[in-house]
């Protein structure tokens, strides 16, 4: 008989007591036995959260061996891959090794199924036995290791028509275009900051799908390098080059592009600090700002909006919403442009 586990995984928390796995400092990653409501997986690839991977690369001076050492140390110390500086994790793909007794018949999983976790590595008990390869340009790390998902954990079977590496990259940011689908309405003017990035172009696509021919999608890129990829996207109406952390400069460019009307919805997908105010000042009063980036300081956003007298609705980027995996995978099926571009960036 397997031990009964808590739905939210509290049984794996080591320190501090009574905390949930995400906020816990340490969790147990001993998988010699699993609890009755856990799914044990042999992990093959980690997709590290963009903000976390940028931080790790900077601290490692872009040395792959040092990156591997840092990642191994994080997991050895905390039992999960939660970057202590960014607080963020990522997600994994792997094969199901065992399904807990209490979940059999309740989940559509069997041994050998390939799945992607749709919950953060910052709460997922993980053991890394070996780091095999680091893909510096797509935030992915091939490993040999194991992890468990809790009863409350969200996962998705990998699709057969999309390469696993690409599917992993997409599912890691699936919450972003799915939230855009909820926030944007026909006729809106939508700005996507960080439009060239993985989540940024997906958000641009879904925004254009929602605003229709009467609406407008403005893609904001950090530098001229890579601007062409956004300009060529058939679902982006206007491309601006601007520093997201230089709020007044960005405001000037958006005012010029919109005739002073600004944006109904602003999506922040930038994986660096101090970009809160750039998002807020280009939003209309009573408009909406969606902060998907884990580099966002919500203290800076709240107090900053107050300081400039902006009455805007600010939304925290929840990585999960119902149907987000299928919506995002369908973007790849619908958009020939993105399928080709992302296939080059994140494919096998």
Among 87, 88, 103, residue whose Cα is nearest residue 41: 103
Q: Pick from 278, 318, 284, 282: which is nearest to 301 by CA?
A: 278
220 Cβ contact list (under 8 Å, min separation 6): 191, 192, 193, 194, 195, 239, 240, 241, 242, 244, 250, 254
pLDDT at residue 341 greater than cutoff 80 = yes
Its sign, for the CA torsion 177, 298, 47, 17, is: negative
Average pLDDT over residues 116-141: 95
Q: Is the pLDDT of residue 199 over 80?
A: yes
Span 282-308, pLDDT tens digits: 999 999 999 998 778 889 999 999 999
Query: pLDDT of 262-288, one tens digit each?
Result: 999 999 999 888 899 999 999 999 999
Burial 281-292 (b: 16+ CB within 10 A, else e): bbbbeebbbbbb
What are the DSSP calls for 129-177, one per residue? EEEEEEETTTTEEEEEEEEEE-TT--EEEPPSSS-HHHHHHHHHTTHHH
Cis status, amide bond into 5, omega within 30 of 0: no
pLDDT at 348: 65
Mean pLDDT for 223-246 is 94
Higher-scoring residue by pLDDT: 244, 31: 31
Give the pLDDT confidence score for residue 121 in this predicted structure.
Answer: 96
Q: How far apart are CA 63 and CA 337, in angstroms?
A: 33
Rounded CA-CA distance 187/210 in Å is: 8
244: CB partners within 8 A, 6+ apart: 193, 194, 220, 222, 250, 268, 270, 272, 275, 278, 279
Is the distance from CB of 81 to CB of 126 less than 8 angstroms? Answer: yes
What percent of the chain lies above the pLDDT cut of 90?
A: 86
The whole-number average pLDDT for the span 67-72 is 98
Q: 123 pLDDT exceeds 80?
A: yes
Average pLDDT of the residues in 151-166: 92
Q: For the chain, first and last CA: distance in Å? A: 41
Please report the beta strands in the chain, taking only residues with DSSP state E, as ranges in sequence order: 13-15, 26-27, 39-48, 90-99, 114-117, 126-135, 140-149, 155-157, 189-193, 216-221, 238-241, 263-268, 283-291, 313-316
Task: Specify the pTM.
Answer: 0.85
Distance CA 257, CA 246 (A): 17
What's the rounded Cα separation, in Å, for the pair 286 and 64?
Answer: 46
Tokens of 15: 């320190």
Domains and CATH numbers, the chain: 10-158 (no CATH), 175-346 (3.40.50.720)
Contact 185, 157 (CB under 8 A): no
Structure confidence at residue 278 (pLDDT): 95
- In eight-state DSSP terms, residue 3 is P
Average of per-residue pLDDT across 307-330: 92
Average pLDDT over residues 17-33: 95
> Average per-residue pLDDT in the chain?
94
Place of tokens 């340009």: 137
**R_g over Cα of the chain:** 20
**Three state DSSP letters for 43-94:** EEEEEECHHHHHHHHHHCCCCHHHHHHHHHHHHHHHCCCCCCCCCCCEEEEE
């Amino acid at each position: 008989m397997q031990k009964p586990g808590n739905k939210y995984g509290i049984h794996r928390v080591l320190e501090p007591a009574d905390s949930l796995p995400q906020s816990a400092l340490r969790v147990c990653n001993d998988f010699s036995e699993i609890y009755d409501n856990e799914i044990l997986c042999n992990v093959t690839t980690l997709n590290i959260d963009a903000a976390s991977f940028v931080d790790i690369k900077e601290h490692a001076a872009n040395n792959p061996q040092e990156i591997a050492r840092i990642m191994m140390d994080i997991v050895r110390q905390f039992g999960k891959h939660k970057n202590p500086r960014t607080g963020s994790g990522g997600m994994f793909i792997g094969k199901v090794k065992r399904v807990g007794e209490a979940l059999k018949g309740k989940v559509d999983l069997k041994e050998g199924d390939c799945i992607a976790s749709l919950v953060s590595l910052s709460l997922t008990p993980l053991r890394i036995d070996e780091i095999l390869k680091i893909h510096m340009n797509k935030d992915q790390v091939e490993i040999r290791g194991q992890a468990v998902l809790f009863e409350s954990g969200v996962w998705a079977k990998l699709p057969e028509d999309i390469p696993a590496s690409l599917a992993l990259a997409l599912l890691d940011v699936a919450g972003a275009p799915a939230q855009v689908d909820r926030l944007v309405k026909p006729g809106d003017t939508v700005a996507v900051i960080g439009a060239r990035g993985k989540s940024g172009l997906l958000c641009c696509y879904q925004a254009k799908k929602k605003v229709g021919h009467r609406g407008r999608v403005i893609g904001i890129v950090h530098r001229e390098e890579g601007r062409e990829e956004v300009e060529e996207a058939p679902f982006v109406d206007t491309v601006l080059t601007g520093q997201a952390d230089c709020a007044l400069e960005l405001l000037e460019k958006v005012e010029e592009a919109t005739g002073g009307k600004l944006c109904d919805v602003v999506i922040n997908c930038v994986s660096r600090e101090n970009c809160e105010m750039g998002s807020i000042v280009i939003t209309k009063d009573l408009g909406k700002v969606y902060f998907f980036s884990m580099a966002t300081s919500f203290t800076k956003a709240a107090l900053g909006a107050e300081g400039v007298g902006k009455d805007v609705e600010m939304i925290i980027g929840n990585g999960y919403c119902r149907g987000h995996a299928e919506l995002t995978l369908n973007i790849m099926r619908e958009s020939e442009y993105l399928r080709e571009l992302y296939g080059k960036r994140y494919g096998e």
